[in-house]
Amino acid sequence: MKILCVCGLGQGTSLILRMNVEQALGEKGIMADVEHIDLSSATSMSADYIITSNELAESLQDHPAKVIIVNNYFDMDEINAAIENNIPA
Amino acid sequence: MKFLEEKLVALDIPAETPEAAIKAAGDLLVASDLVESGYVEAMVESYRENGPYFVLAPQIALPHARPEDGVKEASVAFVRLKDPVVFGSAANDPVSLVFALGASTSDEHLLVMKELVMLLNNPEKVERLKNINSYEELKIVLGRN
């Protein structure tokens, strides 16, 4: 399973998201290849899931991956719920 | 790496616009010679181009640009705004805590980001950031005393 954590530049915020997504996946025992990347690179990359903010999700509507929105990157409860609701364990 | 050292922290800075808030935090990185002044302009430009996606949690913004925009050392500066500023983030406006990130390609970038995540993943510490009155108090929040 491939998951992209996407932000505008692929440097800062997507890395933060990736750290917390990897922690949540690890606690659930879900194996996944998680990458952090900028929006424009993400549009041409294949993936099973994309996790990103509300603002950037609109630009990824046409991507074949399922797009998962996280509003608070530091809220592990929200990140855990987003994964549970979208990614089968 | 430089993470929230004394010269990289300023409390209750007035700013009326997102651009001014980003600049206030970015200028702390410039003053400590951690980024070039063009990096701050690139942060503002990124906001104008990509919008407020870097407002990552209620009241918290993490403006940054690319390492090649002029980062000398992996670093984070913190400005608490005197009055909250609306960045246009549907979920997390208004912003009062601004962390300017000097994003580098070095391994230190990862360390800086881990420090930041450890701080901001902790809701109790974030609440304390809103109420501290001095750098000494911030050091206690950071566990540096």
Q: Which residue in the list B29, B35, B46, B64 is annotated as catalytic?
A: B64
- d(CA A52, CA A68) in angstroms, rounded, equals 6
Determine contact, residues B87/B48, Cβ cutoff 8 Å. no
Determine contact, residues B76/B116, Cβ cutoff 8 Å. yes
- d(CA B133, CA A28) in angstroms, rounded, equals 40
Neighbours of A88 (CB within 10 A): 7
Mean pLDDT across chain B: 95
Output the CA angle A12-A40-A15, nearest 5 degrees.
Answer: 20
Q: What percent of chain B shows pLDDT beyond 70?
A: 99
**A2-86 placed in CATH 3.40.50.2300:** yes
- Write out chain A residues lying below 8 Å of B90, CB-based: 54-55
Cross-chain Cβ contact A54/B91 below 8 Å: yes
pLDDT level of residue B137 (50, 70, 90 thresholds): very high
Residue-level pLDDT at A50:
97
- d(CA B135, CA B132) in angstroms, rounded, equals 8
Interface subset of A 34-53, CB within 8 angstroms of B: 39, 52-53
- d(CA B29, CA A10) in angstroms, rounded, equals 20
Domain residue spans of chain B: 2-142
- d(CA B98, CA B95) in angstroms, rounded, equals 7
Q: Is A20 on the interface with B (CB under 8 A)?
A: yes
How does pLDDT run across B103-121, given as a tens digit for each residue? 998 889 999 999 999 999 9
- d(CA A74, CA B124) in angstroms, rounded, equals 12
- Write out chain B residues lying below 8 Å of A7, CB-based: 53-54
Neighbours of B9 (CB within 10 A): 19
Residue-level pLDDT at A55:
87
pLDDT higher than threshold 80 for residue A89: no
Q: Are strands B55-57 and B60-61 parallel, antiparallel or unpaired?
A: antiparallel
Domain residue spans of chain A: 2-86
Strand ranges across the sheet with A2-7: A33-38, A2-7, A49-52, A66-69
| Residue B64 annotated to the active site | yes
Interface subset of A 62-81, CB within 8 angstroms of B: 71-76
**Interacting residues of B137 by C-beta distance below 8 A, sequence separation 6+:** B128
CATH superfamily of B2-142: Mannitol-specific EII; Chain A (3.40.930.10)
pLDDT higher than threshold 70 for residue A44: yes
How does pLDDT run across A49-81, given as a tens digit for each residue? 999 998 899 999 999 999 999 999 999 999 999
Q: What string of DSSP letters covers B66-128?
A: -GGGTBSS-EEEEEEEEEEE----TTTPSEEEEEEEE--SSHHHHHHHHHHHHHHT-HHHHHH
